[in-house]
Chains A and B, each alone.
Chain A
Amino acid sequence: MPAPRTTAAVPPPAPPRAPVPPVPPAAPAARRPRRRTPFRSRLGPYLLLVPAVAAIAVGLGYPLARQFVISFQEYGLAQQFGRPAEWVGLQNYVTLLTDPYVWTVIARSIAFCLLNAGLTMAIGIALAVLMTKVGRAARVTLQVGMLLAWGTPVLATMTVWQWLFDSQYGVVNWLLAEPLGMGSMRFHSWLIEPLSFYGVATVIVVWMSVPFVAFTVYAGLLQVPEECMEAAQLDGANAWQRLWSLAIPMVKPVLFVVALLQVIWDLRVFTQIHVLQRAGAPTRETHLLGTYIYSLAKEFSMAGAMATIMLVITLGLTVFYIRRMLREEQL
């Protein structure tokens, strides 16, 4: 964007509340404050941004930049004890990207992410719609249940899920063996097989993520003006049509944000996988991107390169959404 003045670049949005700072307290006050404000208000916003920018730069920006630089160096244990790091160009990336195992991890992560994000969105939207359709008592019951699940700390829920799927005394195995008669499941170890490991992880992740989607979409659905719905009803649209052709398109911006967040969150899923691995799963067969980077901790430059790759994948999966959001968002 070469044009420095944003107002010139974007003609329509000069909203009712007009440009604020250029002429702020001005009118009624006397000369004195008037002469002081232009300078202050030009500098003011930047001063207000300083603490936040500094904190993000120190906590995120600098580690990110450093990691990026080091991903082009040879940096392992020896360098941590003072040996200077050597530049190796793209060698770390080449090593990683020619390793078929890395591609397996990437493919697994993307599959896991899309499956979980898709399931979460589908169930979340369905429950949001359900909330608008049922009576008050049923809705409140549903909301309270969701809130409790949503509010419980991740680690607390992770311990419960470990306990539920415990092979010896877990209630899941009991349920499958006793009332449902699958005797072979009595002492089944859920985490040994990669596929059932991911099944358990999916149940947990979806269970944790659905409440956020359901509540946010529900809040969006409530903002759909009643008049529109009534007009559509008078025109003969049935409930299903009103939902699909009217309400859902109107809450599209919300759906976009939520879906974007789900994809990001599910791609970087770490805690659930890490905890389940520690509960006794073969780590190499169950690594996703996050846990794989964690396992590379000792070889810092490799971890840096892998993290950069993960960042690129994240951007690749979300660039469509981000561009669309930026287009719809008038900044």
Chain B
Amino acid sequence: MSAAGSAVATARGQRGGQRSARGGRSSLGRRLLGALAVAVSLAWVFPVYWMISSAFLPTNELRTSEPTFFPVDGGLGNFRRVFTDPTFFSSFRISLAVTGLTLAAAILFAFVAALAVSRFRFRGKKSFIVTILVVQMIPAEGLFISQYHVLDNWGLVNAVLGLTIVYVAAILPFTIWMLRGFVSGIPIELEEAAMMDGLSRTGAFFRITFPLLAPGLVASGVYGFLQAWNEYTLALVVMSDPEKQTLPLWLQGLVEGNRATDWGLVMAGATLITVPVIVFFLIVQNRMSSGLVAGAVKG
């Protein structure tokens, strides 16, 4: 938080300097730029707005030649229909189970690996980091058929565990990379000082460094949550049984279900899936991208 705060302060200082140097001429330009920023923001937000707005409108109002831009006389009918759909709840349970398991495993594994990489010096460290970088380049889209076959051999197709395995493997490289940035951002001197004062190495780590790492762990946790919750491709391949589909598959199923798509229902479903994501996302976004920057710039 403090980093973000000082960053904002820096930006403010910069702008202050500019203004005093350029005087009144720039204020019109700045206002124009501000208007541009707002316009861009509206363009980006429109689809999201459209999703929420349509979710409140009954089907007969969506199927007219004039689109309704403000759902003033909308209702909760679409949401009610989602909640009375039993496949929504079964998909919700599957999504929850996969996401939870993936998150627990990925965070734990990535955390200890990041520790090894940023707090120890050992032979093969460099090649490990390079491998992590290269693994991130492997297009999962070129692997899913093979992943399906492997899981099939082990009887893990259409199983929560099977999907979890491929998710953890997919998420780990970036999570390790990100956590490594966070761990090496905490000066080792803090730990050394604590060890001088009599704590063991492990004790120093857990009493001093670990609490400082909390934001990093939260950030990578949210990253993992978003990946697992939103993932579509692997779920499509691994969870082919309609009884076992995750929420994204369920949603796409709604679109394709019948000839004339019931857009109100689909938009209500999309909105429901989105809400928890947006909440988590807004909390942590800042740390996620600064973590990436830190990992990229620092050693």
Among B66, B129, B196, B252, chain A packs the most CB atoms within 10 A around the CB of: B252
Question: Which partner residue on chain B sits nearest A132 by CB separation?
Answer: B11
CB proximity of A29 to chain B, nearest CB, Å? 8
Q: Which residues of A sit under 8 angstroms from B232, Cβ to Cβ?
A: 154-155, 271, 275
CB proximity of A71 to chain B, nearest CB, Å? 10
User: Which residues 45-104 in A have Cβ within 8 Å of B in the complex?
Assistant: 45-46, 48-49, 51-53, 55-56, 58-60, 62-64, 66-67, 70, 80
Q: Which residues of B sit under 8 angstroms from A331, Cβ to Cβ?
A: 125-126, 129-130, 299
Among A13, A59, A62, A329, chain B packs the most CB atoms within 10 A around the CB of: A59
Contact A152 B277 (CB under 8 A): yes
A139 to B41 alpha-carbon distance, docked (Å): 9
Is B28 at the interface (CB under 8 A from chain A)?
no
Q: Which residues of A sit under 8 angstroms from B120, Cβ to Cβ?
A: 20-21, 41, 44-45, 48
A108 to B269 alpha-carbon distance, docked (Å): 34
Contact of B150 among A29, A62, A310, A315 (CB under 8 A): A62
Contact B142 A293 (CB under 8 A): yes
Is A11 at the interface (CB under 8 A from chain B)?
no
Contact of B67 among A28, A145, A174 (CB under 8 A): A174
Q: Which residues of B sit under 8 angstroms from A13, Cβ to Cβ?
A: 299
Contact A155 B169 (CB under 8 A): no
Contact B293 A52 (CB under 8 A): no
A58 to B147 alpha-carbon distance, docked (Å): 10
**Chain A interface mostly:** helix
A163 to B254 alpha-carbon distance, docked (Å): 12
Is B239 at the interface (CB under 8 A from chain A)?
no
Is A195 at the interface (CB under 8 A from chain B)?
no
CB proximity of B197 to chain A, nearest CB, Å? 9
A293 to B144 alpha-carbon distance, docked (Å): 9
Contact of B251 among A19, A56, A156, A171 (CB under 8 A): A156
Contact A156 B255 (CB under 8 A): no
Is B108 at the interface (CB under 8 A from chain A)?
yes
Contact B145 A307 (CB under 8 A): yes
Contact A138 B38 (CB under 8 A): yes
User: Which residues 218-234 in A have Cβ within 8 Å of B in the complex?
Assistant: 219-220, 222-223, 226, 229-230, 233
User: Which residues 227-277 in B have Cβ within 8 Å of A in the complex?
Assistant: 229-230, 232-233, 236-237, 247-248, 251-252, 254-256, 261, 263, 266-267, 269-271, 273-274, 277
Is B116 at the interface (CB under 8 A from chain A)?
yes
| A4-30 interface code vs B (CB 8 A; 1 in, 0 out) | 101000000101010111101101110
A127 to B255 alpha-carbon distance, docked (Å): 33
Is B170 at the interface (CB under 8 A from chain A)?
yes
Is A300 at the interface (CB under 8 A from chain B)?
yes
Contact of B139 among A33, A310, A329 (CB under 8 A): A310
CB proximity of B60 to chain A, nearest CB, Å? 11
Contact A254 B121 (CB under 8 A): no
Known: A28-B196, A60-B135, A163-B266. A55 touches B105 (CB 8 A): yes
B residues near A, CB below 8 A?
7-8, 10-15, 17-18, 21, 30, 33-38, 40-45, 47-48, 50-51, 54, 62-67, 105, 108-110, 112-113, 115-117, 119-123, 125-126, 128-130, 133-150, 165-170, 172-173, 176, 187-189, 195-196, 198, 200-201, 226, 229-230, 232-233, 236-237, 247-248, 251-252, 254-256, 261, 263, 266-267, 269-271, 273-274, 277-278, 281-282, 285, 289-290, 292-293, 296-297, 299
